[in-house]
Amino acid sequence: MRFSATIAAICTFALTAATIPSALAAPAATASAENAEIYKSIVKIEVASQVPDYTTPWNAGHFSGGSGTGFIIGKNQFLTNAHVVSNERRVLITMHGSARKHQARVVHIAHDCDLALLEVDDFSPFEGLPHFRIGDIPKLEDEVRVIGYPVGGERISVTRGIVSRIDFRSYAHSRADMHLVVQIDAAINPGNSGGPVLQNGKVVGVAFQGLTQADNTGYMIPPPVINRFLTDIKDGSYDHYAELGVSEFPLFNPAMRKIYNLAPNDPGVLVADVSVGSSAATTVKQGDILIAIDGHEVDSSGNILMDGERVNMNEIVERKFAGDAVSLKFVRNGEVMEKSVVLKTFPPAQMYAAQYGKKPRFLVQGGLVFQPLNLNLYLSHKLNNPRVRKIFNTYLKDGFYEKHQDVLILTRLLDDPINASLGGFAGNAVETINGQKITTIEQASQLLNSANPPKFLEITFSGVDRPLVIPTKDLAEANQRIRENYGIHSQQNLEN
């Protein structure tokens, strides 16, 4: 599985309004006419955004802004990073050497691979400008140019670097996805995000993130990921990456190899877990040994040889789309089997992906604030209850998510006489409301706002010995009071 823990060291490079330093601009060097033409196709993107606040989900959130870089790849098609235009409310595009700001909008956004496609209301000023072509993935030690609008001045900036590493790494924007990245030693700075990385006039990457504690390490999104995004949106909408749903465990241990009758050079990795409801769920079982994927032999650590490089076997799935088939060859009880698996996305994995452009879901009743668990909530509320942490960590295990589409957390109490002695319940995960197991926020809303309510609302929490009870008689009055006192204009938002 490709879900990784949060990587604090990686930072994305959208330039936020708050971090623009007031450095003096150096005089621009004279560039060749050819370069000047290319520069015109590299645009500055200024974004005003509205970021929801998961600690006060009924509020509008805070308004902020930032800037990044984008480039023209087709008629009214501007490519940039998803993180440059996330939570956007207004997007303006400025051409190199022009003062005019063009109103733009997001057409497609893919948070899992940090790419977005924009269009402007009126493309005519951009007509005739060259369109960038996407090239091939560069090789180690190739020289590349990074062009964009980073901090340190108003005008376009160019840096040069060499390709220092090609690797599978976390994408900081979603915090949960890993894809191919290319590391270069050119300086990539805030504002460079979304800008093209060029080699021989072709785009070989989109600059997108760096490392906070290392110098001269910039990362770009390489052509395989860009091309996959552009292919995915051809049908008019972006689908998430497809997932196989298999977690592998390396078969290094000699006793383990003996149990599975493997000779020292036999291929294959152990299937340690298969997520319920995932693409491979009905095909592969825990304990199977996966020996090949689409004809590529899988080694004992789960890697395959692809284009001369040893990469994780999931790279095969990475380059495919929902609906595509992948062929799996595996050994079960000594018998070799080969089966085709139709790939699909795996929505429960969104639990670990940062959410953007969505209004937080919540439910307030009697001053009790309930919110479904996800990464945004986990981080903003710093949830530290061990049972809630365990639920969060094992959400994908053993099909837990099938029974709990939403894990509802009592995140806080808005102090009011009706909940005066209930403070100790905050931070726990709801198990039942009036005896019914809670699986979605909609269901909780119905039970908490029933037309013929029982005398008491009884709420039990996972791992908590006694129920929370609240009389329904005075609820309406209390809700009115709480809405007014705390400025809550709406008592719930059940949809993203």
Partner 1 sequence: MKPFLTLLLAVLTTLGSLSSLAADYTDSVLRISSTLQNYNPSQPWDKSNPRSRRALAAVLDNGLVITTAEMVTNANFIQLETCDGEFQIPAKIHTIDYECNLALLEAIDADGKEVIAKLKPFQTAEPASIGDSLDIIQIQNNGTQLLTSGKIRGVDIVAGFAAGHYFLNYELKTSMQSAANSFTLPAIKDGKLAGLLTSYSSKDQLADLIAPEILNAFLEDAADGAYKGFPMLGVATSNTKDPHFRRWLELPQGKNGLFITRVLPDSAAANAKLQKGDVITAIDGHAIDKRGNYQDPHYGTLFWSHLVRGAKKIGEPIHFDILRDGKVLQVETKLARAPEGIIPSHTYGKAPRYLVKGGFVFQELTKSYLEAFGKDWQSRAPLNLLDALNHPEDYEKGRDRLVFISATIPTPATLGYESIRGVIVEQVNGQPVKDLPSLIAALKKAPANGIHSLTIDEQPKTIYLDATLSDQVDQQLVQRGLPALSRAKE
* Chain positions contacting partner 1, by CB under 8 A: 247, 249-256, 258-259, 270, 272-273, 286-287, 384, 386-387, 389-390, 393, 420-422, 456, 458, 463, 465-466, 469-471
List the 430-433 sheet strands across, edge first.
436-437, 430-433, 456-461, 468-471
Torsion of CA 378, 383, 387, 390, to 10 degrees: 40
- Beta bridge partner(s), residue 169: 179
Distance of closest approach, residue 319 Cβ to partner 1, in angstroms: 26
Residue 14 or 290 with smaller CB distance to partner 1: 290
Compute and round to an integer the Cα radius of gyration of the chain: 26
Pairing state between β 430-433 and 456-461 = antiparallel
Residue 224 or 463 with smaller CB distance to partner 1: 463
Residue 147 or 448 with smaller CB distance to partner 1: 448
H/E run at residue 40: helix 33-40
Q: Given 157, 193, 247, 445, which residue is catalytic?
A: 193
381 assigned to active site: no
Residue 444 or 470 with smaller CB distance to partner 1: 470
Q: How far apart are CA 463 and CA 106, in angstroms?
A: 44
Distance of closest approach, residue 470 Cβ to partner 1, in angstroms: 5
User: Which SS3 state, helix, strand or coil, does residue 108 take?
Assistant: strand
215 assigned to active site: no
Residue 215 or 465 with smaller CB distance to partner 1: 465
Distance of closest approach, residue 248 Cβ to partner 1, in angstroms: 9
Under a CB-based contact definition with an 8 Å cutoff, are residues 150 and 138 in contact?
A: no
Distance of closest approach, residue 310 Cβ to partner 1, in angstroms: 18
Under a CB-based contact definition with an 8 Å cutoff, are residues 445 and 494 in contact?
A: yes
Task: Count the neighbouring beta carbons within 10 Å of the beta carbon of residue 312.
Answer: 19
| DSSP label of 424 | G
- Let me know the angle formed at the C-alpha of 484 by 483 and 486, rounded to the nearest 5 degrees: 70
Q: Which of 376, 75, 81 is nearest to 208 (CA)?
A: 81
| Side-chain half-sphere CA neighbours of 105 within 13 A | 3
Distance of closest approach, residue 290 Cβ to partner 1, in angstroms: 13
Q: Given 83, 111, 179, 404, which residue is catalytic?
A: 83
Residue 370 or 425 with smaller CB distance to partner 1: 425
Under a CB-based contact definition with an 8 Å cutoff, are residues 293 and 316 in contact?
A: yes
193 assigned to active site: yes
Two tokens, residue 379: 């981080």
Residue 165 or 473 with smaller CB distance to partner 1: 473
Residue 81 or 419 with smaller CB distance to partner 1: 419
Chain centre to alpha carbon of residue 141: 30
Two tokens, residue 245: 């749903």
Distance of closest approach, residue 314 Cβ to partner 1, in angstroms: 16
Distance of closest approach, residue 254 Cβ to partner 1, in angstroms: 6
Distances (CA, A) of 228 to 1, 14, 221: 19, 23, 11
Q: How far apart are CA 418 and CA 31, in angstroms?
A: 70
- For 427, counting Cβ atoms within 10 Å of its Cβ (0-12 exposed, 13-18 middle, 19+ buried), the class is middle
DSSP letters of 274-292? E-TTSTTTTT--TT-EEEE
Distance of closest approach, residue 270 Cβ to partner 1, in angstroms: 6
Q: Given 49, 86, 102, 114, which residue is catalytic?
A: 114
User: Which SS3 state, helix, strand or coil, does residue 232 take?
Assistant: helix
Catalytic residues: 83, 114, 193
